[in-house]
A and B are shown apart, each in its own frame.
Chain A
Amino acid sequence: MGWASVGEVRDALARERYLADEALATAVYLAGAIDQPLLLEGEAGVGKTETARAAASARGARLVRLQCHEGIDVHHALYDWDWSRQLLALRAAEHGRPAPQLYSREFLVRRPLLEALEADDDVVLLIDEVDRADDAFEAFLLEFLSDFAVSIPELGTITAHRRPLVILTSNRTRELHDALKRRCLYHWIDYPAPEREAEIVRARLPGVPEDIALRVCDAVARLRDADLYKLPGVGETIAWARALLALGTGDLQSTLGVALKVREDIDRVRAEGLLTGA
C-alpha cells in the first residue's frame, strides 16, 4: 500500500529492522508517490538491495527481483517461450490432440519484468546491479521504465496494470547512461555514522551485547578512515558483530577477516596497529 508521508516510510522501514535516514526515506517515499524509479548507488555492502527488500515487506508487497548480469537480454529479463513444451504439444497434435496455439500465453515463460508488469497485487520491482548489464539492455530498460509497457511480437503490447515501485541498484563499475539516470530518482547511500551503525547492528541482531555493538562499530569506523583498498560495508559490520557473538569473545584482531578481504589491507591494519585499544 502507498505511504502517506516520509515519516511513515521511515517508521515502516524501521519496523522491518531497516534504519533509513531522512534522505533515503524521502527518496523511497517519492519513488512511490510520483511513480518514478529510484536508482540507488553506494559502496558495496551499504544496504542497497536490502532497501528494496525492506520496502517490499514494509508495504506488504511482493518483491520481484531481476538480477542483472553480463549478457542479460530480453529473454532473461522479460519473457521466453517454453520451447520444450511447444515441441511436445506439436508431437501430441500428430497423435490426434487438437493443434496447439504455439505462441500463446500457454507457452509463455514470464521473466521478472513481465511478472512485475502483469501483477495485480502490489509489487516492488528490484533491478539489481544494473551496471553489470550492457548498453543494449540498458536501452531496453529505459524504454520499459518510461512506458511500463512492452511489446511481445506474437502477443502484442502489454501494459502495466498498476505501476510497481521500482528500485534499481548500481555498483558503479561503469557509468550508467544519462538517459536512464534522468528517468530515475537518485540516492547515494553513504556509510552510516558510528552511532547510527550501532543502532543498525542492534536492530539487526536483537540482544547483541551493547559493548560488542559499540566496539565493532568503532573498529569499522577506524578501518573506513584508514587507507585501505576495500572498506568494510554495513553488511560486514553486522557479520563481524555476529561473529563475535558466535565466538563469545571480543577479539577483533583474530576475526579481522570478517571485515577485510584483501590481504594487503589486513597486513596493514596489523602492522600499523590500527585496532589497538579498540
Chain B
Amino acid sequence: MPRLDLGGLAARLRARGVHTGLGELLVAHRALAAVDAADVRQARAALRAALCSRREDLEAFDEAWEAWLDAARPSPLADPAVQTALPHVAIPGDGGAEGAAGTPVPRPAAWSEVELLRERDFAQMSDAERTAAMRLLSRLARRGPTRRSRRPRPSRGRSGRPDQRRTMRAALRHGGEPLERRWHAPGVQERPVVLILDVSGSMAPYARMLLHYVQAAVAARRRVEAYAFGTRLTRLTRELSGRDAGRALARASAAAEDWSGGTRIGEALAELNRVHGRRVGRNAVVVILSDGWDRGDPGLVTAEMARLSRTAHRLVWLNPLKADPRYEPLARGMAAALPHVDHFLSGHSVASLEELADLLEGEM
C-alpha cells in the first residue's frame, strides 16, 4: 500500500497550474482524516474535493493523482523505516483482503500524520504504518499503573510519619537538640501488570501489533507478566524479555504454538488461575487482549473470570471488535466474561492503547 506525502501531490498540482497553498493542504489533510482512509476511492474523492476549486482543476487533478500514486508505490528495496522518517500522511490503499476484515472507524478531524496513525485500525495498516505505529506502541508500553510502596521516602513538610533516623542526624547539628523534625511518607512503586494475549485465528489481524505492545511492556517495566493463549496458555515473560525486540518476538512466536488456531478462553484462564496463580497477585492489574470468540464452555469462562476478578486488583478487557460502534458483546466467551470485567476497552489502534495507558495510570 503506498504511503505518500501530500506535499508531493500538491507540487504536481501546482506544476499543472492548480493553486495549492498551505490552506488547501490543511483542508486536504483534514478531509483525508474524515473519510475511510482504507478506501482509495474515498480518499481520492476527498482530496479532489479539497484541492480543486475550478472545473479545469479536475483534469489536472486526475493526472497528478495517477503520477503521484505511481511515484509513491514503494520500491521493494525501500526501507519502511526510512519512509516513515519522511513527512507523509497515511494514504489509503485499495483495501483488498485486509480492508474487508476491518470496519470503518469514525475519525475525528485530524491533520497530522501521527493523528491519522493513532486512529487507524491495526488490521488496515500497511507495513510502513505498522513500523511507525510500533514505535508509538513502544513509547506507550512504558506507561503503567503504580501503587503506594511500603518503602518510605523522605518528604518535605509535615506529611507522613516522623523519620527518627533523619531527625537524629539533623539534631546533631544543633548539639543534640531535635529542633528540626524530619518526616517520611510512603513512596510509589510500579504495580504488577499481567497481560494475556489471544493469538487465535480470529485475532490474527491484531495479534502481531498487540504482541509488540506486550513485548515493549515486558522490556520497559519491571513487573509485567505476559501470556499468550489460543487453545492453551503459554507464559511468554521469559521469551519476551531482553532488549532486542526482534529476537524476543521470534522467541515468543516459537514458544506460543497455537498462533491462528482455535480459542479456549476458559481453559486458558483456568490454567492461569491454577498454575500461575501466584504470579497474578492481589495487587496486579490483569489485562486480557482478546475478541472474546470462544469455542469452549462459557460456564468455564464465567467461573474462571470470577476467580480472576477476585484475585486481581483490576481486570481490564481489550477487544478490537469493540471499535465498531455497532458492536455488541454477543460472542459467547465475551458475554460470559463481561460481568466480571472492571473496564472494557477497544484495543484496535494506537489511540485505544493510549486509552489503556491513561486508564492504567489513573485511579482505575
The residue in chain A whose Cβ has the minimal distance to the Cβ of B274 is A229
Q: Which one of B151, B223, B279 has the greatest number of beta carbons of chain A within 10 Å?
A: B151
Say whether B273 contacts A71, CB under 8 Å.
no
State A228–B178 Cα separation when bound (angstroms): 57
Say whether B237 contacts A87, CB under 8 Å.
no
A120 contacts partner chain B, Cβ-Cβ < 8 Å: no
Say whether A174 contacts B307, CB under 8 Å.
no
State A102–B171 Cα separation when bound (angstroms): 12
State A70–B192 Cα separation when bound (angstroms): 13
Interface size on A, residues (CB 8 A): 30
- Among the listed stretches A75-83, A144-152, A188-196, A209-217, which one makes contact with chain B, having 4 or more residues with CB under 8 Å of it? A75-83
A217 to chain B, nearest CB (A): 22
A87 is contacted by which of B176, B192, B278 (Cβ under 8 Å)?
B176
Say whether A73 contacts B151, CB under 8 Å.
yes
State A231–B285 Cα separation when bound (angstroms): 24
Say whether A87 contacts B149, CB under 8 Å.
no
Say whether A71 contacts B192, CB under 8 Å.
no
B221-240 vs A, Cβ < 8 Å mask (1 yes, 0 no): 01100000000000001100
Task: Decide if the interface of chain B is mainly helix, strand, loop or mixed.
Answer: helix
A26 contacts partner chain B, Cβ-Cβ < 8 Å: no
Which B residues are CB-close (under 8 A) to A230? 277
B192 is contacted by which of A72, A86, A135, A174 (Cβ under 8 Å)?
A174
A200-235 vs B, Cβ < 8 Å mask (1 yes, 0 no): 000000000000000000000000000111100000
Interface size on B, residues (CB 8 A): 28
Say whether B273 contacts A69, CB under 8 Å.
no
Which A residues are CB-close (under 8 A) to B167? 83
B278 to chain A, nearest CB (A): 5
Which A residues are CB-close (under 8 A) to B278? 171-173
Say whether A135 contacts B222, CB under 8 Å.
yes
A264 contacts partner chain B, Cβ-Cβ < 8 Å: yes
Say whether A227 contacts B168, CB under 8 Å.
no
Q: Which one of A70, A71, A228 has the greatest number of beta carbons of chain B within 10 Å?
A: A71
Say whether A86 contacts B168, CB under 8 Å.
yes
Footprint of A on B, CB under 8 Å? Answer: 149-152, 164-165, 167-168, 171-172, 175-176, 178, 189, 192, 222-223, 237-238, 270, 273-274, 277-279, 281, 303, 307
8 sampled A-B residue pairs with Cβ under 8 A: A69-B150, A71-B152, A80-B165, A83-B164, A90-B171, A134-B189, A227-B270, A227-B274
Q: Can you add 14 more A-B contacts, CB < 8 Å, to A87-B171, A173-B278, A230-B277?
A: A83-B165, A86-B168, A87-B176, A90-B176, A93-B176, A94-B176, A134-B151, A136-B151, A173-B279, A174-B223, A175-B238, A229-B274, A229-B277, A229-B307
Nearest 4 CB-CB pairings of A with B: A71-B150, A90-B176, A71-B151, A83-B168
